[in-house]
Amino acid sequence: MMQFNRSSKSNLFGYPLAVSLIMVICTGANLFNVQVLLAQEAKKAAGTKTTVQLTPKQAKALEGVFQSSGNHDMYVRFTPKENGLVAKLLWNNREIRLTAESDLIFVNNKAGENGPLRIKFRKDSTGSVTQVYVGGDDLWNRVKGYKPEVKKEMEHTPEQLKPFEGLYQFQNDSGRFIQFTVKGNILVLKQHWDGNEIHFVPQSELQFFSKVVPLFSLTFTKDKNGEITQVLAFKRDLWDKVKKYHPTYEQLKALEGKFQFKDDLDNYLQITAKENNLVVKQLWDGKEIILEPQTETYFYNNDQSYPLQIIKNKEGAVIQVEVLGIDLFNKVKD
């Protein structure tokens, strides 16, 4: 039976706003994203090869920092360790252990269910290691004299952070929302689809960063009236600020109905209007959850990170609801 908790089928939207977030879900950080790499390498991984013993000279030749050719904000540091390498992803400080299959090929066989993560170093005409391929075709180039960008927190007050609070909708997927809230003297981003949170501090008036994941940047936009209207995450994902929705009781009544779970026809939900909210009741066990209106078709319970999306046909009639970002229920005809 379904319960009011996260479905085991739920995913992180593919972002890593992921780190989950964004993940880093997060979008744009696909290189060294295990799920992406595994798909590339699954057919190549017929089995685990015998490991080899590296000489100190061979291991030392691989040590250093490499930059993604596809995203110049992303760097990885390779360090020899126990006859293998540790790949430290400098955008989120995650570490991946790699075992040597040869002096230039390394693998992590526990990367995921679809197969191993395999990388291959490449030498130039002088015999120096200058590049590494990840998953077969993602090219990273060695960086000489790498100096990490140092981000400094701007002096600020909670009052200065208040204008950034609110709900934001993803431009590429109207069913995805994030919420910004001020807690203490930090700006907290909450992913509505899984409840994960990331803390941000300002680097400048409109630019923010995460101290835990410095590459996770936010750039806000103001309109001519000085109101915050958008936020750009990871320098590529655009989210629009949503004005608070205040429906009438009659508007909420129009959303009421009984809904049948698409994947299990024995399970039903009953949706009713109550004061300024919607109440969802699981008819198989009687549990109820109160959802606050966020937009005309999007409702949310913040404590349980429970989203509900109303789906209408072209005539404007309610035909389905989607709960937890994945489970579809069809409206039962009266």
Of the three residues 226, 242, 258, the one that is the final residue of a domain is 242
| Over residues 94-111, mean pLDDT | 88
Residue 95: give the domain boundaries: 47-143
| Over residues 281-292, mean pLDDT | 95
265: left (phi over 0), alpha (psi -120 to 50) or beta: alpha
- Look at residue 179 and tell me whether its pLDDT is greater than 60: yes
pLDDT in tens, 320-329: 999 988 899 9
pLDDT grade for 28, boundaries at 50, 70 and 90: very low
Q: Comparing 44-48, 89-93, 208-212, which segment has the lowest mean pLDDT?
A: 44-48
Q: Is residue 105 included in any domain, yes or no?
A: yes
Q: Comparing 132-141, 171-180, 311-320, which segment has the lowest mean pLDDT?
A: 132-141
Q: What is the pLDDT of residue 236?
A: 82
Same domain (yes/no): 122, 186: no
- Look at residue 228 and tell me whether its pLDDT is greater than 80: yes
Same domain (yes/no): 97, 69: yes
Same domain (yes/no): 310, 275: yes
- Look at residue 61 and tell me whether its pLDDT is greater than 60: yes
- Look at residue 12 and tell me whether its pLDDT is greater than 90: no
- Look at residue 208 and tell me whether its pLDDT is greater than 60: yes
pLDDT grade for 46, boundaries at 50, 70 and 90: very low
- Look at residue 112 and tell me whether its pLDDT is greater than 60: no
pLDDT grade for 50, boundaries at 50, 70 and 90: low
Q: Is residue 42 included in any domain, yes or no?
A: no
| Over residues 313-320, mean pLDDT | 95
Q: Is residue 151 included in any domain, yes or no?
A: no
| Over residues 181-203, mean pLDDT | 95
Q: Is residue 156 included in any domain, yes or no?
A: no
pLDDT above 90 as % of the chain? 67
Q: What is the pLDDT of residue 334?
A: 77
Which one has a higher pLDDT value, 25 or 222?
Answer: 222
- Look at residue 7 and tell me whether its pLDDT is greater than 50: no
- Look at residue 23 and tell me whether its pLDDT is greater than 60: no
Q: Is residue 158 included in any domain, yes or no?
A: no
Same domain (yes/no): 231, 259: no
Same domain (yes/no): 256, 227: no
pLDDT grade for 51, boundaries at 50, 70 and 90: low
**Separation between Cα atoms, residue 79 and residue 66, nearest integer Å:** 12
Q: What is the pLDDT of residue 135?
A: 81
Count structural domains, the chain: 3
The DSSP annotation for 90-132 comes to TTTTEEEEEEESSSSEEEETTS-TT--EEEEEEE-TTS-EEEE
Q: Is residue 39 included in any domain, yes or no?
A: no
Q: Is residue 38 included in any domain, yes or no?
A: no
What is the identity of the amino acid at 208? Answer: F
Average pLDDT, the chain: 85
| Over residues 45-55, mean pLDDT | 65
Same domain (yes/no): 231, 307: no
Q: What is the pLDDT of residue 49?
A: 56
Same domain (yes/no): 278, 228: no
| 180 and 288 Cβ atoms separated by less than 8 Å | no
Contacts of 165 (CB under 8 A, 6+ apart): 180, 181, 182, 187
pLDDT grade for 9, boundaries at 50, 70 and 90: very low
Q: What is the pLDDT of residue 312?
A: 96
Same domain (yes/no): 200, 233: yes
Which one has a higher pLDDT value, 61 or 3?
Answer: 61
Q: What is the pLDDT of residue 119?
A: 94
Q: Comparing 37-46, 59-68, 99-108, 131-140, which segment has the lowest mean pLDDT?
A: 37-46
Q: What are the backbone dihedrals phi and psi of residue 105, each rounded to the nearest 5 degrees, phi first?
A: -115, 130
Contacts of 127 (CB under 8 A, 6+ apart): none
Q: What are the backbone dihedrals phi and psi of residue 267, each rounded to the nearest 5 degrees, phi first?
A: -105, 135
